[in-house]
Amino acid sequence: MRNILFFFLLFFISLKVSAAQSDTSAYQTQRLKINALLAERSARFGQYDESLNARTGIFGFQTKKDIRNSNEILRQLVLNDNNIFKELKILMDYKDLEVQQVKTSAGESDERIQNYKLSIKQLQDQNQLLKAEAGTAIKDKHFAYTLSLLLLLVTGGMAWYVLKKIKRI
């Protein structure tokens, strides 16, 4: 009985682990995507910093083209930041989903464990009851054998006594 319960418990745990691994791989993929966006942001910020220092105009001043280039890089930085926030939101949703799944799994596991404990308790009580009934049946059997032997002895004694009386007469 314990081996069967152990087998089913092991089977359900392996199912949960495979589901958790697929969730973890999606989570890891999302993290890699965010890391790539952060690396892109760092590169664009370096470009923006360089564009602010670019002075191609007369007497070393910035031209409209330099300023437009800086603004375009800054606009791309903002768009990239927006993408990072969107991806972070997705990552946080994954994390919240993972936490919810862990809570649900823990609750289900606790419920299953309580049901297993209840089943084991009921089986132990039933086993004790069957042992008591078996003990009573054995005692009754011994009593019946003893009573049968006693009756046989009494009957044998009576038959012997009667035969002796018949022989005397």
Please report the pLDDT score of residue 27 as a whole number.
83
How far is residue 48's CA from residue 68's CA, in Å, rounded to a whole number? 11
CA nearest to 20, candidates 93, 95, 98: 98
Task: Return the amino acid letter for 20.
Answer: A
Q: What is the DSSP letter of 57?
A: S
Q: What is the model's pLDDT at position 55? A: 75
Locus of tokens 């005692």? 139
- Residue 125 has what pLDDT? 95
Q: Quick one: pLDDT at residue 155?
A: 95
Q: What is the pLDDT along the chain (169 residues), one digit of tens a residue?
A: 555 655 555 555 665 544 445 557 888 898 899 999 889 888 888 888 888 887 777 766 778 888 888 899 899 999 999 999 999 998 898 888 888 988 999 999 999 999 999 999 999 999 999 999 999 999 999 999 999 999 999 999 999 999 998 988 7
